[in-house]
Each structure stands twice: as C-alpha cells, then as structure tokens.
Structure 1
C-alpha cells in the first residue's frame, strides 16, 4: 500500500465521524503521525476540495468534492441503475417505500430509494449507511454471503439502534438460516421504532449476492396479518426478476404460513 494515500484516507474517515470539525493536532493524535505530516495531507486534500478549513477556528471538515465522488459512485453502480424501474414498480404495487442496498464492510449502503407513492413528506435515504444487523436489507444480503464473511460479521461489532435490535450472534445466525429457507428477511422496529422492513436478496451473474431490495414502512401497516404475506411475495418476486436481469440465478425458498 502507498502510505501517504492510506493516511489521507484515514484523515477523511476521522473527519467523517467528527462533530463537527477537527484540528491538525487532534487529527495527528488520532492517526498517530506528526503534525507536519497531517498538515501536508490536509493541504493536499484541501487543494482537491476533499476537505475545507473553517476560517474562524482553523479546523477542518469534509469538502464538497466528496459529494461529487459519492454521486458518481451511485450513478455508475450497476445494481442501482438496474433496480430503479423495479423499485419504482414495487413501490407502486405495495404503496410502500422501497430501498435497494449493498453491503459495504459491516454496513448496508442504500443505493436507491423509491418513495412511497402517497403520504407525508419523505426524506431521501440514498447514500445512507446502516448497521447490517438492524436492517432487513442487511440480513437478506448476509444470509447469502460466503460463510467466512458471515462469521466475520457475526463476530464483529453488532450495533443496537433500538431496544429491539438483535445483537445476539446466535439469534442472528438462526435468522440468517431462516432467510435462506424462505428467501427473504424481516425486521421489526430494529432500525427505527415504529418502522419495519421486508427484503429479499439480489444475485448477479456469478451467482454471488449483489445486494437486496426491500420495503420500509410503519410496522402496523407493513407486517399486519392482511398485508405481510403479500408484501413478502411481491418483494421476493421483484428480487428474482432483478436477479434475472443481472444474469443471476433464481433464488429459491418456500413461503411460510403466516
């Protein structure tokens, strides 16, 4: 690895979690290098628009060029491009919001968000990163990931966002087994109190899991006895169709009796 590049990435990661800005000394302490080295890195990043310096405090924060890079990633992501039509159709069919996500480390990144057709003002979640264990999207992807990757994620940090978030590795392992059996995952108030999710895996041409597509909405509407099975069937069928478009195989699994 090129050490200077690695250090620059480390600086950007530290600023990602900073609230709201960090100075040269703080960054030097965090990444374990000298202040002159950090200062040189920051000047280079600033020249490229990746960080900006606050005129009053002299501290640094992430710059606008990162937005351009992030949007370019999303705009060229094959799954996002292929999923737009399918996600919009699923939203229209179910009347619920639809997310498409991919696994990035131990997080799920939302690469596309189709709004609920009717309802109140909704916040766009495209680009959001969420703990895999707290989302139906994450469970749907991890259930079909290689075993070594599953074990690494199960033995890693399992973040609790609500009192209902599952953080017990053995419980999660059982949930992943069920996802493989029925072909979709369910999350109830683990990400946000009052909300739920239903998601199914999407496979690419190599038969590897590429991501997941799922519904997100109020728990009383998404998981009630009248709609839950229909939502699950619609989500899984959409994932199958999208998988075929990507050249992947058709995911099997039986539907349970709710």
Structure 2
C-alpha cells in the first residue's frame, strides 16, 4: 500500500553566525568523531592527519578529552574512547523511550518476522542505527549494531529515509556523487530518483546486492508530521531468503505495522 508523499519542508531555522560558535569546541568534537571508524587506538599524529588540525592543537584537545574522561590512554601514546562517550547518546535514547517502549515493540515484531529488525535515523548523508532487536537470540544477525552507519543511497533503510525526507534535503544528497559498493550499486542520480519514486508508490524499499553481494534488505519509514520520515525500520539477510513469491510484500507489511506502532514514540 503506497504511503503519503512528503509535503513541502517547513522553513529552515535561522542560521547561526560564526561569531556565536566555539571553534575550539568544534575541533574537539572533530577529534572525537575521528574515532568512529578506527579499528585500533589512535595516536596524536593519526588524529592530526585524520582531522587536518595542527598537531600541537590536536595534542591539547586530546589531553583535554582525557582529563574530561572521554578518551583513555592505552599505552605507547595512543588513545581510545572511554565508556563515558555513551553518555552523549543517552539523553537522545531516554527522551524517545527506546528502552521502555521502542525496544519491546521491535522485539515482538522481530519474533513475528523471524528476522532481526534495525531502527535508523538520518544523519547527514548516512543512516545511523539507534535501536536493534534480534528478537530470537538464535537469529542470524547482519553484524551491525547501535551506532553503525550505512549509506542512504545503496541500502533499503537508507532509501526509505531518503524517499520520505524533505525534497530539498533529498536533492542536496543526490547532488553529490554516490560511490559504488558492488557491481550492482545504482549511482546515477536519475536512476536513484526513479527508485525513490517507486518506493513512495510501493510503500517500502527493497535493495538487493547493492551494498553487499548476495544480501537483500527491506525497509519502511516511520512517518511523522507532513509524511516525513522520522526514522526507518529494516531487515536484512541472504537474498535466497527473500526469493519466495510474495515474501517481500508480506515482510514489508509486518514492518509497516511495527512502524505505525512506533510513530508516537520515535
């Protein structure tokens, strides 16, 4: 069943002037964000190269973050995030009652589907997982968890967010080159626009082999005011599991029921 088309975006909030911004604080956040994809502790030279910030400034920022408890020194002058960084996300998760309401709903629908369900929101040009439920501990999971990021253009959960976001935001994202992840990845902006239109008509996103070979994903939007996606729910698994006639429509319908249940909480 097709979903409502996003209405025109409301006027953007007033821009914040540079003079009202703490550039030092902004650089400190850049240093923290540099650890996002790090597989091992980073040294000050590593961080300086990653952020483009002067090495002496990077050193002061790192030592400040150590003093504040957000980074820990792991030896050989290398640093890693401490558990304290999780506090930065706790307010977001608590305010939306993820533990008390969202997680139980997702767990119930995960058992009905026989698939692990992920909930993601849009963060710039990426989708970031904010909740995850395997439902049944015996289920094979995708290897992604809370905090994992996925591209908007090549994944079902990303396209569900993109298809139902404000038109201006979608066009801004499509204006940038989309990197291919596999031989099947759609990168042409016009082809992606056509796919987004099909998603709005169909009511769910279906992507096969575009992000990982042999993997299929299905996702639906969690809609808010103006039929704009506040989040998206998705499942993922080996393509062979989704080849039975009608199975994708069935799973998408169950995901949509879950999304409608969550609309007042997310």
* TM-score clears 0.5: yes
> Does the alignment pair 1:172 with 2:192?
yes
Please report how far the alpha carbon of residue 79 of structure 1 lies from its aligned counterpart in structure 2 after TM superposition: 7.3
1:194 aligns to what?
A: 214
Deviations 1:212-257 (A, max 9, x none): 11222222113421422211222223323333x359xxxxxxxxxx
Instruction: State which drifts further: 209-218 or 16-25.
Output: 16-25
Distance 1:209 1:124, change over 3 A: closer
The answer to whether residue 141 in structure 2 is matched with residue 145 in structure 1 is no
2:192 and 2:33 map into 1 onto residues whose CA distance is: 28
Q: Are positions 1:88 and 2:112 aligned together?
A: no
Q: 1:124-166 CA distances to partner (integer Å, 9 max, x unpaired)?
A: 6222111112221111111111111101111224243333232
Structure 2 counterpart of 1:254: none
Task: Tell me, yes or no, if the aligned pair for 2:44 and 2:58 is still in contact at 8 Å.
Answer: yes
Q: Tell me the TM-score normalised to structure 2 length.
A: 0.80
Write the mapping of 1:17-36 to structure 2, written as runs, cut at 5 A.
Answer: 17-18=37-38, 20-36=40-56
5+ residue gaps, structure 2, are 1-20
**After the TM superposition, which of the residue ranges 72-81 and 180-189 deviates more from structure 2?**
72-81
CA RMSD across the alignment: 2.6
Matched, 1:158 2:162: no
Report the alpha carbon displacement of residue 175 of structure 1 after superposing the two structures with TM. Answer: 0.7
Q: Where do 1:50-61 residues align within 5 Å?
A: 50-55=70-75, 57-61=76-80
**Alpha-carbon distance in 2 for matches of 1:219, 1:77:** 36
Out of 23, 43, 47, the residue aligned to residue 67 of structure 2 is 47
- Give 1:76's aligned residue: 94
- Using CA pairs under 8 Å that are at least 6 residues apart, name the structure with larger relative contact order, 1 or 2: 2
C-alpha contact (below 8 Å) 1:95/1:118 kept by paired residues: no
Q: Is the 8 A contact 2:208 2:239 kept in 1?
A: yes
Give how far 1:30 is off: 4.6
TM-score, structure 1 normalization: 0.82
Q: Tell me: CA distance 1:208–1:226, structure 2 relative to 1, closer, same or farther (3 Å).
A: closer
* 1:102 matched residue in structure 2: 121
Aligned to 1:217: 237
Residue 32 of structure 1, CA deviation: 4.4
* Residue aligning to 2:247: 227
Whole-angstrom distance in 1 between the partners of 2:156 and 2:96 = 21
CA drift at 1:46? 0.5
